[in-house]
Amino acid sequence: MLAGHFLGWESQGIDIGESAVEYVNKELGLPSKQTTLEDANFENETFDLITMNASLEHIAFPLIDIQEASRI
């Protein structure tokens, strides 16, 4: 598998958990960084698809992240 590609998609992961980011980087060989979506500073319209698996229920103000996802 090419680093950064998953099932034909160029990918970029983020997570606030250090162990989750380390696992994705080392074990799966996919790019991931430890940050919040708001602090990741992605450019406008960077992505075609964003998934938030098991995350919104853990965010204090989920509307902020939904708006940020819409922007990027």
pLDDT tens digits, one per residue of 10-63: 899 999 999 999 999 999 999 999 999 999 999 999 999 999 988 889 999 999
Please report where in the chains the tokens 């998609």 appear, as a residue: 9
pTM for this entry: 0.80
Q: What is the DSSP letter of 25?
A: H
Integer Cα distance of 6 and 23 in angstroms = 15
Q: What's the confidence (pLDDT) of residue 48?
A: 94
The dihedrals phi and psi of 14, each to the nearest 5 degrees, come to -140, 150
